[in-house]
Amino acid sequence: MSQLIDPFQRAITYLRVSVTDRCDFRCVYCMSENMTFLPKKELLTLEELDRLCSAFIGMGVKKLRITGGEPLVRKGIMTFFEGMSRHLDSGALSELTLTTNGSQLAKFARPLADAGVRRINISLDTLDEAKFAEITRWGRLAQVLDGIEAAQAAGLRVKINTVALKGFNEDELFTLADWCARKDMDLTFIEVMPMGDIGNENRLGQYWSLKDLRARLAERFTVTDLAERTGGPARYVRLEETGQKIGFITPLTHNFCESCNRVRITCTGEIYTCLGQEGKSDLRAPLRRHPEDDAPLQDAIRAAIGLKPRGHDFDYSRQELGGQMSRHMSHTGG
């Protein structure tokens, strides 16, 4: 089967799939406090997710990242990971990984490792218990820290993803960096993105440029650019004094679209070929209409990739949320 190539000759090798819109946290930049979740019949079943991901793997996808909401709150999710492990065993898939809030890892870290997961990303924006409760609304920091311990004990390589939020975690920049260095975890900072209606939260007020964050790091450390890329949008530096790797995901101050090799699928089977555009295609319909024949699904995937844009249009410079997406991050899966 021929590889997926978009209109700008970029090979699509990285698939991010949201398996649920539900989460046990209500992070203020991701969800409203009183979320209305999708009816379960609208979500792809675990069997449909397996079939869909397998189709993409058959068309050249080498890296599969599972997201949510919180993927580990999806009932029966380990059967999906165990199913995907056959593609690791065959060599068709190079990496199976997930992004999680860490709350369920004490339970799932070992089964994930047994299914072939080697690296995970854990979203964590503060090491202060009170601030953690504030930003997640419902979360408990101790539960996440226990999950991180379980992940490392299971042999999983952990990367911490931290959303840079002005006035919230600016004062923890070095605390977070030092903590990750001590625990031998990589750390990536992410600029807050204009996604979804989150009530009274002011995205312009939350925005902390990573250019400024990097300059702050350089006041204490020797910061060296690295050529390394991991298939995602992050650009990396090394802090020479500690040897640790720090990533920056900067959709607002640096457009990383020229090398974009990824697409996202929502928990309802919509494919978004760009996180920062509203354009989408429906893959659930061909999945359900042709349960025994993958050809219509493959045709729908190719048609969707044929619509992939050159880039996104996030922009805070106009003092309004240019390019704001109406959908929540929990629906698209980050």
Q: How confident is the model at residue 230 (pLDDT cuts 50, 70, 90)?
A: low
Mean per-residue pLDDT for 80-102? 98
Residues tagged in the binding site annotation: 16, 23, 27, 29-30, 65, 69, 99, 123, 159, 193, 257, 260, 262-264, 274
| pTM over the 0.75 mark | yes
pLDDT tens digits, 18-61: 999 999 888 887 888 788 889 999 999 999 999 999 999 999 99
Is the pLDDT at 256 greater than 80, yes or no?
no
Pairing relation of β-strands 270-272 and 262-265? antiparallel
Among residues 245, 263, 256, the alpha carbon closest in space to that of 303 is found at 263
Between these two residues, 210 and 259, which has the higher pLDDT value?
A: 210
Q: How many separate helices (H) and strands (E) can be counted in the chain?
A: 11, 12
Is the pLDDT at 285 greater than 70, yes or no?
yes
Residues tagged in the binding site annotation for GTP: 16, 65, 99, 159, 262-264
Q: What confidence score (pLDDT) does residue 321 get?
A: 44
Strand partners, 190: 163, 249
Cis peptide before 69 (omega within 30 of 0): yes
Q: What confidence score (pLDDT) does residue 92 get?
A: 98
Q: What confidence score (pLDDT) does residue 202 get?
A: 52
Kind and range of the H or E element at 190? strand 186-191
Q: How confident is the model at residue 108 (pLDDT cuts 50, 70, 90)?
A: very high
Q: What confidence score (pLDDT) does residue 198 get?
A: 43
Between these two residues, 111 and 234, which has the higher pLDDT value?
A: 111
Q: How many of the other CB atoms lie within 10 Å of CB of 286?
A: 22
Is the pLDDT at 281 greater than 70, yes or no?
yes
Mean per-residue pLDDT for 303-314? 77
pLDDT tens digits, 121-142: 999 999 999 999 999 998 999 9
Q: Where are the alpha helices (DSSP H) in the chain?
A: 46-58, 77-90, 105-114, 129-136, 141-153, 173-182, 203-206, 210-220, 284-289, 295-305, 329-332
In sequence order, what are the residues at sequence separation of 6 or more whose Cβ sits closer than 8 angstroms to the Cβ of residue 245?
A: 186, 187, 226, 228, 236, 237, 238
Domain edges within the chain: 14-332
Q: What confidence score (pLDDT) does residue 252 get?
A: 58
Give the position of tokens 């720090």.
246
Residue type, position 306, single letter: G
Residues tagged in the binding site annotation for [4Fe-4S] cluster: 23, 27, 30, 257, 260, 274
Q: What confidence score (pLDDT) does residue 275 get?
A: 64
Residues tagged in the binding site annotation for S-adenosyl-L-methionine: 29, 69, 123, 193
Strand partners, 236: 247
Least confident span in 74-78, 142-146, 221-225, 276-280: 276-280
Q: How confident is the model at residue 301 (pLDDT cuts 50, 70, 90)?
A: very high
Q: Which CATH class is domain 14-332?
A: alpha beta
- Average pLDDT of the chain is 88
Q: How confident is the model at residue 316 (pLDDT cuts 50, 70, 90)?
A: very low
Give the pair of three-digit tokens for residue 19: 């398996």
Contact present, 120 and 97 (Cβ < 8 Å): yes
- Per-residue HEC secondary structure of 308-320 comes to CCCCCCCECCCCC
Give the pair of three-digit tokens for residue 327: 């959908």
Q: What is the DSSP string of 51-103?
A: HHHHHHHHTT--EEEEESS-GGGSTTHHHHHHHHHHHHHHTS-SEEEEEE-ST
Contact present, 50 and 294 (Cβ < 8 Å): no
Q: Using the 8-state DSSP alphabet, how is residue 7 labeled? A: T
Q: What confidence score (pLDDT) does residue 262 get?
A: 86
Between these two residues, 313 and 103, which has the higher pLDDT value?
A: 103
Tell me the C-alpha distance between 209 and 327, whole Å.
Answer: 23
Task: Name the 3-class secondary structure at 16.
Answer: strand
Is the pLDDT at 192 greater than 50, yes or no?
yes
